[in-house]
Structure 1
Amino acid sequence: MNRWHGIDEFLAVAETGSFTKASKLLGMSVAHVSRYVSQLEERLNTQLLTRTTRKVVLTQEGQVFAHQTKQLQHAMDDATALLAEQQLTPKGSIKLTAPVMYGESFIMPAVHSFMQKHPDIEVISHLSNEQVNLLEDGYDLAIRLGHLKDSSLKARRISQRRLVICCSPEYINKFGQPHSVSELHQHNCLIGNNSYWRVKEQGQDKHIKVAGRLACNSGWALVDAAIKGLGIVQLPDYYVNEHLADGRLTAVLSNVAPEPEGVWGVYPPRQFIATNVKALLDHLVATVQVSDL
């Protein structure tokens, strides 16, 4: 049984001295108020009110109980008001993690502008390409790129990224331009964290193996190598957008480009997301739109 059950009704009767007035105050029927107060008295095994045809008065036990529960009611009102205030003005600490390059370039600038708007927010950020355990390490939010693995965590899509295959005009002038995936084996491909590229042919997602004489786990290093004509590279759009725009890189095999991948805000599976984390996610969704650059 809910220990709060009937207390609001009892206090309304105690304050107004009438079941009828209490029912009007609470917006419910007299029978409802009377039933809830009677159930409360039965649960406490104590008579709280003396009922007559003309008026309702508190018993001595009712006076003591009313005094104490009124304080509880005030505490509940204060707690509710505090939550409402926090929803209007996010407060408290947020611990988050994000991949290094993406975090430096896009997430942290957005976090900083969020903190400018909300001076009562504190942020502890850890940028790492290692995927941390949110629950074990106490993180409130993690930024994940690409396809999410099956997980009990909750996720919200913040933005998206496109994978682009490109090379320099100088490379094309010297070695020609591939017009199909099958021609890539004739070209020097710049290798990132793995030797497979994602493409989409005839509506099917595929992973194709590529090879070349340079492998590096830095996207910026691979961009530099591509600009200098060392080969063809596949990278997320935020690495190459600027260079595609200024002509130092040229997109190739655009007809087999895979569907855009999600950029996700991932958080622990609580029933209700913390107000400050929700506010930060709303801000990230509104401000991080990398693919439109």
Structure 2
Amino acid sequence: MSRWQGIDEFLAVAETGSFTKASKLLGMSVAHVSRYVSQLEKRLNTQLLTRTTRNVVLTKEGEIFAHQTKQLQHAMDDARQLLAERQNSPKGTIKLTAPVMYGENYIMPAVHHFMQSHPDIEVISHLSNEQVNLLDEGYDLAIRLGHLKDSSLKARRLSERRLVMCCSKAYLDQFGQPHSISELHQHVCLIGNSSYWRVKEQGKEKHIKVTGRLQCNSGWALVDAALKGLGIVQLPDYYVNKYIQSGELLVVLPAVAPATEGVWGVYPPRQFVATNVRALLDHLAASFQVSDL
């Protein structure tokens, strides 16, 4: 019996939490999946799954084995992809995730253009402001904004963003122009997820606490409040650029703006980046007209 036998079946059960769902995923009978997983457990002399009448869950040993064998699956996928690269243009399915607003307005339009040029590409896109685990949830690509946390993932810089402090002329007419960071505490600030804003003073970045009448986790809602003269807001440039260009919002304290941050394409640390993923990364970088670091 092959030492690989049962691994695909086990991982399918581990990922779906069900022998029935795993059988549908693999296109085989439930009995076949169950038999191969049982044989695998027998060869390993270890129980990998706890089976009940309602669900199937991994044992501690099963979690360890699933993590390690998933890497074997990735290695096999890489090997197949390497061979496919010698024969085919980009094709297949790309599963990607991106933040909601940035994904809707920037990433997905570029992805749609990419799909027009590559009819054999399929895309499964999940827009969410939660950072998913690429390896555990099977994502090929994630778009991340700002400073990246240390991780084992690989990343490519696609574009950049900057934080902008701005408000309406009506607000300045009523409350006056702040001339320094220290004067911000005298002003009404529109607060997002955090009541601390990033600024740069004497070449060093720091966080300052701000206060105001409105706190909201929606960037668009804060833009609307700023346009209505309710306060000063600090947001990424892609929220406010068009209003600054039209003169509806005015930049405040531009000298203390923090350094620009990256927009990143993050992908699993495999030896070979899939042809379709690499092609999409190239397209996104070209679309944003920013080269790699």
* Structure 1 segment 197-212 matched on structure 2, within 5 A: 197-212=197-212
- How many residue pairs get aligned? The number is 211
Query: Deviation at 1:82?
Result: 4.2
Query: Deviation at 1:272?
Result: 1.2
Query: Deviation at 1:80?
Result: 7.7
SS of the residue corresponding to residue 151 of structure 2 reads coil
SS of the residue corresponding to residue 207 of structure 1 reads strand
CA RMSD of aligned residues (A): 1.6
SS of the residue corresponding to residue 86 of structure 2 reads helix
Work out the CA distance in 2 between the residues paired with 1:218 and 1:289. 28
* Structure 2 counterpart of 1:280, one-letter code: L
* Structure 1 segment 234-249 matched on structure 2, within 5 A: 234-249=234-249
Work out the CA distance in 2 between the residues paired with 1:153 and 1:95. 16
Equivalent residue, structure 1, for 2:85: 83
Equivalent residue, structure 1, for 2:118: 118
Work out the CA distance in 2 between the residues paired with 1:275 and 1:175. 55
After TM superposition, the score normalised by the length of structure 1 is 0.70
Query: Deviation at 1:83?
Result: 2.4
The CA deviation string for residues 145-188 of structure 1, in whole angstroms up to 9 with x for no partner, is 00000110000000000100000011001000111111010000
Work out the CA distance in 2 between the residues paired with 1:213 and 1:268. 42
The CA deviation string for residues 24-48 of structure 1, in whole angstroms up to 9 with x for no partner, is xxxxxxxxxxxxxxxxxxxxxxxxx
Runs of 5+ unmatched residues, structure 1: 1-78
* Structure 1 segment 58-69 matched on structure 2, within 5 A: none
* Structure 2 counterpart of 1:163, one-letter code: L
Larger radius of gyration: 1
Work out the CA distance in 2 between the residues paired with 1:156 and 1:170. 41
Equivalent residue, structure 2, for 1:51: none
Contact persistence 1:158–1:264 (CA under 8 A): yes
Kindly report structure 1 stretches of 4+ aligned residues shifted beyond 3 Å.
Answer: 79-82
Equivalent residue, structure 2, for 1:271: 271
Equivalent residue, structure 2, for 1:216: 216
* Structure 1 segment 3-82 matched on structure 2, within 5 A: 82=84
After TM superposition, the score normalised by the length of structure 2 is 0.70
* Structure 2 counterpart of 1:220, one-letter code: W
* Structure 2 counterpart of 1:225, one-letter code: A
Work out the CA distance in 1 between the residues paired with 2:263 and 2:181. 26
* Structure 1 segment 77-156 matched on structure 2, within 5 A: 82-86=84-88, 89-156=89-156
- Give the percent of matched residue pairs that are identical in Structure 1 and Structure 2: 77
Work out the CA distance in 2 between the residues paired with 1:132 and 1:208. 29
Work out the CA distance in 2 between the residues paired with 1:146 and 1:289. 18
Equivalent residue, structure 2, for 1:26: none
Work out the CA distance in 2 between the residues paired with 1:176 and 1:104. 36
Work out the CA distance in 1 between the residues paired with 2:246 and 2:149. 36
Work out the CA distance in 2 between the residues paired with 1:120 and 1:259. 40
* Structure 1 counterpart of 2:232, one-letter code: I
SS of the residue corresponding to residue 87 of structure 2 reads helix
Query: Deviation at 1:81?
Result: 7.1
Contact persistence 1:192–1:215 (CA under 8 A): yes
Work out the CA distance in 2 between the residues paired with 1:80 and 1:125. 24
Query: Deviation at 1:84?
Result: 1.9
Q: 1:228 to 1:84 in 2, by over 3 A?
A: same
* Structure 2 counterpart of 1:175, one-letter code: F
Contact persistence 1:166–1:252 (CA under 8 A): yes
* Structure 1 segment 152-163 matched on structure 2, within 5 A: 152-163=152-163
Contact persistence 1:180–1:253 (CA under 8 A): yes
Contact persistence 1:106–1:288 (CA under 8 A): no
The CA deviation string for residues 244-275 of structure 1, in whole angstroms up to 9 with x for no partner, is 01111000110001110100000000011111
Contact persistence 1:166–1:233 (CA under 8 A): yes
Equivalent residue, structure 1, for 2:258: 258
Work out the CA distance in 1 between the residues paired with 2:244 and 2:204. 26
Work out the CA distance in 2 between the residues paired with 1:118 and 1:187. 51
Equivalent residue, structure 2, for 1:169: 169
